[in-house]
Structure 1
Amino acid sequence: MKTLPMLCIAATITSSAGAFAADYFRDDFSWGYNTSVWQARNGANGTPFGCTFNEGAISPSSHGITLSVSDGTCSELQSSEYYSYGKLQGSLKTGNTAGTVSSLFTYTSWWDEPGRAWQEIDIEFLPSLGNVVHTNVIYQPEGGQYQSWEQDVPLGQFGLNIQNELLTIGFDWSATQIRWYVYDASDNEQTLRVVYKDNGDGYIAEDEIPAYAWPVDNTKIMINHWHGDNSAEAFYFPGQYYNQAAWAYYDFIEYIPH
């Protein structure tokens, strides 16, 4: 998923994104989001996004927040600080509005530090795809070729439906492996997908990512909810949008460093 974070970074962040890694946090979103952890995004990304991020589209409740989408308006939170290897997980539920995306992901790029490659690890839900989780790793050097390693994993095999119930999901990111997981209907952790950093044997296996493309830099953590602009790119991802309002509810987000 393409996203361009705010260019201004909170004063609590060190001047070099690559030199900073924050510690454990958990936000249960009680009457809003923790402003020491998150910044709300205001602004546009360009195609295939068909909406402008607006902090007013984030609604609090006694426990959990709702990220809303309407025609031309979407919502995003991004961490104020940068994080390294660890487990990122959360609990969320989303509606069934075609052409929208709700997500939990890590992101950093040249917008954070000149010359840095775009590096992203994704958990995304697209109603246009049905009851699946879209997993992805993205890599692009500044001015270079975009590459991604996508895989959609059906959730019904675990007794889950993202549109009907809260789903607890996450990934564990290390120097050599990324493992996506979910808690099934019996609350047992189930592995969704595993990818590995290429071991240097001269052959890139189906479940390997080239060493040069492995996400290594400290990164922001983000959640967002948006709709496509019905361009050719958007028809591929996230599908046609019919100008309908949508919602995504987040119960908590937790980061556990290694």
Structure 2
Amino acid sequence: MKKLWLPLATLCVTFLSPSLSANYFKDNFSWGYNTSIWTARQGDNGTPFGCSFEPNMQSPSEHGLTLTLSQGTCSELQSNQFYSYGKVQGRLKSGNVAGTVSSIFTYTSWWDSPGRAWQEIDIELLPLLGNVVHTNIIYQPQGGLYQSWEQDIDLSQFGLDYRENLLMIGFDWSSSVIRWYLYDANGQEQTIRTVYKDNGDGVLANNEIPAYAWPVDNTKIMINHWHGDNSQEANYFPGQYYGASSWVYYDFIEYIPN
């Protein structure tokens, strides 16, 4: 499944050189988000997004943060700093409204630094697909060809359902390997997907991506909850949206540098 959209999540960032990779953080979202770590996004990404990100679409609690959406409005947090290789992980639970997306991902592009390629690593929950996690790597040079490497993983094989219980999930990003993992119903860590940088042997294996497309630049960490606009692109990803309100609850987000 290929996404034909560009998340302009950093349009509001001025064209300054991104800061050097920041240190470890963990935000438990107690009574809201840590403003030294995150900024609540305000703005519109255009198609296939059917909603504008609004800071007020958040519901804090003592132990976590809920991002909400309604028809035309949605919610996103993006990190204030840029991060390099390491683990990005969190615990979340999402509603079950068709046409919506709940995510944990990294993103950087030419909006952060002119000439930089769009580089993204995704964890996405899409009720359209059922009880699966959608994993993806996206690469596009400025003005060039969009490419993505996607795989959906059925969570039921691990005794999990993100619509019923909290799901602890993350990815470990290094200079040559990206490994997605989760904690199963018994609390054991399970690797669910591994992608390698092409080793240069002249054969691109199914679990490799070209070396030129490997995410290498410091990147923002983001979480969001949005719905599609029912355009052709949106009906493909994230599916038809029928107007219902929805939510995703985040218990924590953590970054552990390599």
Classify the TM-score, shorter chain.
over 0.9
3-state DSSP of counterpart to 1:97: coil
d(CA) in 2 for partners of 1:180 and 1:195? 9
Question: 5+ residue gaps in structure 1?
Answer: none
Partner of 1:174: 174
3-state DSSP of counterpart to 1:59: strand
Partner of 1:21: 21
Scaled by the length of structure 1, the TM-score of the pair is 0.96
Instruction: Give the C-alpha shift of residue 182 in structure 1.
Output: 0.3
Task: Say if 2:47 and 2:234, in contact at 8 Å, map to a contact too.
Answer: yes
d(CA) in 2 for partners of 1:45 and 1:8? 11
d(CA) in 1 for partners of 2:12 and 2:257? 25
> Quick one: which amino acid aligns to residue 16 of structure 1?
S
Question: 5+ residue gaps in structure 2?
Answer: none
d(CA) in 2 for partners of 1:116 and 1:157? 38
d(CA) in 1 for partners of 2:195 and 2:170? 14
d(CA) in 1 for partners of 2:100 and 2:224? 10
3-state DSSP of counterpart to 2:212: helix
3-state DSSP of counterpart to 2:46: coil
Partner of 1:227: 227
Partner of 1:211: 211
> Quick one: which amino acid aligns to residue 236 of structure 2?
Y
> Quick one: which amino acid aligns to residue 213 of structure 1?
A
Instruction: Give the C-alpha shift of residue 6 in structure 1.
Output: 3.3
d(CA) in 1 for partners of 2:7 and 2:188? 32
Instruction: Give the C-alpha shift of residue 9 in structure 1.
Output: 4.0
d(CA) in 2 for partners of 1:40 and 1:6? 11
2:65 corresponds to 1:65: yes
d(CA) in 2 for partners of 1:63 and 1:3? 29
Q: CA RMSD in A?
A: 1.2
Partner of 1:46: 46
Partner of 1:126: 126
d(CA) in 1 for partners of 2:11 and 2:136? 24
Instruction: Give the C-alpha shift of residue 20 in structure 1.
Output: 1.1
3-state DSSP of counterpart to 2:234: helix
d(CA) in 2 for partners of 1:234 and 1:156? 26
> Quick one: which amino acid aligns to residue 70 of structure 1?
S
- Structure 1 vs Structure 2: percent identity of aligned residues? 70
d(CA) in 2 for partners of 1:192 and 1:143? 33
Instruction: Give the C-alpha shift of residue 112 in structure 1.
Output: 0.1
Partner of 2:238: 238
Instruction: Give the C-alpha shift of residue 59 in structure 1.
Output: 1.1
Q: Spell out the pairing of 1:177-196 with structure 2 (5 A cutoff).
A: 177-196=177-196
Partner of 1:99: 99
d(CA) in 2 for partners of 1:214 and 1:16? 20
Aligned length, in residue pairs: 254
Task: Say if 1:90 and 1:250, in contact at 8 Å, map to a contact too.
Answer: yes
Ranges of 4+ aligned residues in structure 1 off by more than 3 Å: 6-10
> Quick one: which amino acid aligns to residue 137 of structure 2?
V
Task: Say if 2:16 and 2:112, in contact at 8 Å, map to a contact too.
Answer: no
3-state DSSP of counterpart to 1:234: helix
Task: Say if 1:9 and 1:80, in contact at 8 Å, map to a contact too.
Answer: no
> Quick one: which amino acid aligns to residue 54 of structure 2?
N
> Quick one: which amino acid aligns to residue 154 of structure 2?
P
Task: Say if 2:13 and 2:111, in contact at 8 Å, map to a contact too.
Answer: no
Q: Spell out the pairing of 1:85-96 with structure 2 (5 A cutoff).
A: 85-96=85-96
d(CA) in 1 for partners of 2:7 and 2:145? 16
3-state DSSP of counterpart to 2:56: helix
